[in-house]
Structure 1
């Protein structure tokens, strides 16, 4: 078949199936190209009238036995169902014995046809659907043009557009077919110079919380994106804060710390309470909505927390209810109440539990990698684990199977010591990661293992200390290390540390050891000054945001 004839038949088929009958007739007449052979009208008519003998005689001429049997069974099956629905059981049984049994060679299928008499939910196919199905079985042998080929080509073109687009995983229904897709999605990010170590949004996007040192700042975000500080919780913990989280109802915020405690704050009535009982660093925690059918209690949430010594504790407000020793070096805990599942990540394992009973569902070992931290997507279907053995990498897992889907690589020439990352953005398929040199990597997890965007978002290669996708507007909020007074001191301290390491490795006599001691005492003095400067910076930190 020539290329010209092929194209004309393509348009003829589209016009015919779209009911442009006059245009179809004119094009067929002018081109003198017939879309279908003459016998096709006889096949169509015999299907409409359930004329089995006529259909079989035509198919005997043009198609093989197997194709003929498939087509005849489709027609006989519909006639058989029609008789059952009209309660003509005797005639239906005769069709089953005399006709269907001739063309059906599968004994199990024959049994299924017999059991149809007792089914209550039988449905007939539409006339055009039945015709299309029968013709689709024999279009090649009949010399017909492939059914719905134009639709297939359009779908293929649409798939190619999606592959070429960086941001989309599906295109809108009204996208222009004849024009190349130009994506209207633009990656939006806001950069703030502020020494924020942790930040988080409430699920409704109405609140933003930041951690600066041991201080927690809470802001309210209005509809016009204006921001107002509503709470400043100072010296909440005596050591480093490890996690910060809003409750799903947006009424509470909690924090965990290296001081072995958790701190819970109610935003409306300003109530505070501390959870004490862990004997190691509390790495992570979750709010779990109380189920009144399971437990009779007044408070809205239970809290599940994990510590590095391997203990999982369950809290009812400030009272510890139960504890379970899981394993050492716990890192993160995630939960989903709709699926009643709880995911716990340790340094060398990932484990999925039942939420309330805490029975193990599935576990995988990650001994070949050192897990640093993790995040789950909104639908609790995928898990990202930050692994930092030799090079920082993000491992993407399926939660239900705990199998690795892909590994997201930074593919950067510069050495990266650590990254901060978050999961969200368009369709919740973007992963953003910021580095210690101020680079921002963006991945689309359905596109590629390589970044779709690499941006330098900070001047003088200052570290990205924290980043977070907004849960509603899909913008990315990025915090970059603030210019500090003691940068020169820090650089000098780093240089002296490196010299100290070199001298220790080379020292062989008392003179050299004395020199090492002098440098060590000098470093202690710099460290004390550095601590003082850091406190001053925290006090001077600006409240401007968004």
Structure 2
């Protein structure tokens, strides 16, 4: 059979099975290609008239005994139902005894057909449905196309859209099979030149928070996406901030730091408190809805925090409720309230716990890799762990099984030392990562483990300091490091301070040191230089703040 004839027969079969009878007849006449050979016409005629004797004689010539028996039982079953619905019980019993029993494989199958006599829910199949079911059993031996083969081909072609397009995750309903796919979805991102080390959005997309240095700025985003600064928390911590997070209800915001504390702030009623008690760097924390089975708490959330020394602490407001030593070098903690699960990542392990009892459910060892940080998707089904061993990699895990799904290679360039990343966009299937050379790398979770896009988004290869997907409009917010104007002054001040310490340490005692006139002169010179550097720093800081305000107004 030539390819052209195959295609025409395929369309003829589809038209007839979809009841486009006039179009079917017209195409068959114009093409002069008969869809059905004579044996198929005879089979169809025998099925329509319930002529099981003729059907058996035809099938005997073309198909094996097993296929013949299956086809005969399909027809005889419908004929039996037809007799029962018309109350021809005597004829139905004869059909069971003389015909149906001949094609049954065993006694159990005979009893199943006999039980139809007592059934109160009998329904005949449509004529075309019965024909399709019988032909589907013997289409290959008759030299026919499988019924609905064209529909299968269309579905296969539509599914290729997901493979051909780097943005799609699901098949479009209006996909046009005869045209080359052009994707209407476009990845959107916004770049800002700002020294933001951490950025976070509230779950409802109404608020955004930014960490700049040791301060936190909170913005409100309205429906037209204009941003209004509503709060600036100055010098929240004395050392580097390690994590920033909104509560599920979007009323609270919290931060943890290398200064071993957690800061919680309700920016609705302006209430704030600090959690102190850890003895090492607090790496991460999370908001946990208070256990309803316990007594009334001071606050609607507990705080679970983890530190590098391996301790998990539980807090309510500024009161520590308990602690649990887990393991050394804890990195991240993730909470799912619906499933009542807690996921803790350490440098060498991934462990799933029950949220309130803290009983271990499952653990995965990652001893051959060094975990840096992690993220989970909204459904709490997938976990991404950033690993930096020989080359930086992102490893995708299933949270349910803690097994590896896919490994995403970052880059073949060994010069990449660190990067920021986020999981988001529509249905959480894009991973966006920003490198220290200003490159934006994108992966599609369901496709290749290689990047689908690599963009240079910063001038002069400035590092991407932070990035985050907006949970509402799915736009990626990218922050690129500004040129630090005061870096030289800060270095000079640091050097002066070190010289002062060395100078004082060299003195034997206060008296002998006071007699060193040259030393006193040197101290005065150092103090003058410190004053000058402070003045320069303040001036540059004011310029930076003015520039920041003008950028926001713009």
* Deviation per residue, 1:41-90 (Å, 9 max, x gap): 44345545655444433322221122223334445566778899999999
User: Aligned pair in 2 of structure 1 residues 126, 251: CA closer, same or farther (>3 Å)?
Assistant: farther
Measured against aligned partners, the alpha-carbon deviations of 1:224-271 in whole angstroms (never above 9, x if no partner) come to 111000011112122211111111111111111122221111121111
Question: Whose relative contact order is higher, 1 or 2, with alpha carbons under 8 Å and at least 6 apart?
Answer: 1
- Measure the CA separation in 1 of the matches of 2:262 and 2:84: 68
Once the two structures are TM-superposed, the CA of residue 470 in structure 1 deviates from its matched residue by 0.8
Where 2:139 maps in the other structure, the secondary structure is helix
Distance, in Å, in 1 between the alignment partners of 2:484 and 2:316 is: 42
2:138 is paired with a residue whose SS is helix
C-alpha distance after superposition, 1:433-488 (max 9, x if no partner)? 00111111011111211111111111111110000011111111000001111456
The reply on whether 1:368 has 2:379 as its aligned counterpart is no
After superposition, residues 379-418 of structure 1 pair within 5 angstroms as: 379-413=379-413, 415-418=415-418
How far 1:222 moved relative to its partner? Answer: 0.8
Aligned position for 1:334? 334
Give the CA deviation at 1:280.
2.0
Q: Shift of the alpha carbon at 1:4?
A: 2.0
**Residue of structure 1 equivalent to 2:359:** 359
Q: 1:383 offset after TM fit, Å?
A: 0.8
Partner of 1:502: none
Which has the higher mean CA deviation after the structures are superposed, 247-256 or 195-204? 247-256
Distance 1:320 1:103 in 2: 76
Normalised by the length of structure 2, the TM-score is 0.82
2:275 — aligned with what? 275
1:162 is paired with a residue whose SS is: helix
Quote the residue 2:56 is aligned against: 56
- SS of the aligned residue for 2:483 comes to coil
Deviations 1:384-438 (A, max 9, x none): 1000112111111111111111111123446201010000013311000001111
- SS of residue paired to 2:384: strand
Aligned pair 1:15/2:15, yes or no?
Answer: yes
Partner Cα distance (1:120, 1:322) in 2: 64
Q: Does 1:237 align with 2:223?
A: no
Q: Bigger shift: 370-379 or 401-410? A: 401-410
Q: Give 2:523's aligned residue.
A: none
Residue equivalent to 2:475: 475
For structure 2, list consecutive stretches of 5 or more residues without a partner in the other structure. 494-525
Mapped to 1, the partners of 2:235 and 2:83 lie a distance apart of: 81
Q: Is 1:213–1:538's contact at 8 Å kept on the other side of the alignment?
A: no
Deviation at 1:324, TM superposition (A): 2.0
Do 1:37 and 1:144's aligned partners in 2 also have CA atoms closer than 8 Å?
no
Distance in 1, Cα, partners of 2:202 & 2:44: 61
The C-alpha deviation readout for 1:142-167, integer Å capped at 9, x for no partner, is 22222222222222222222211110
The answer to whether the 8 A contact 2:486-2:540 is kept is: no
2:319 match:
319
Query: How far apart in 2 are the matches of 1:116 and 1:334?
Result: 57
Measure the CA separation in 2 of the matches of 1:313 and 1:390. Answer: 33
Asked whether the 8 Å contact 1:212–1:538 carries over to 2, the reply is: no
Query: In structure 1, the residue corresponding to 2:70 is in which secondary structure?
Result: helix
**C-alpha spacing 1:259/1:488, structure 2 compared with 1 (3 Å):** closer
Q: Considering only CA atoms, is the larger Rg found in Structure 1 or Structure 2?
A: 2
- Is residue 195 of structure 2 the alignment partner of residue 198 of structure 1? no
Work out whether residues 201 and 207 of structure 1, in 8 Å CA contact, stay in contact via their aligned partners in 2. Answer: yes
**Correspondence list, 1:6-85, <5 A:** 6-47=6-47, 52-75=52-75
Contact 1:334 1:343 in 2 (8 A): yes
Unaligned runs of 5+ in 1: 494-523
With 88-97 and 392-401 compared, the bigger mean Cα shift is at 88-97
Across the aligned residues of Structure 1 and Structure 2, the Cα RMSD in angstroms comes to: 3.6
The answer to whether the 8 A contact 2:333-2:343 is kept is: yes
Residues in 1 aligned to 2:94 and 2:492: alpha-carbon distance in whole angstroms: 97
Secondary structure in 2 matching 1:141: coil
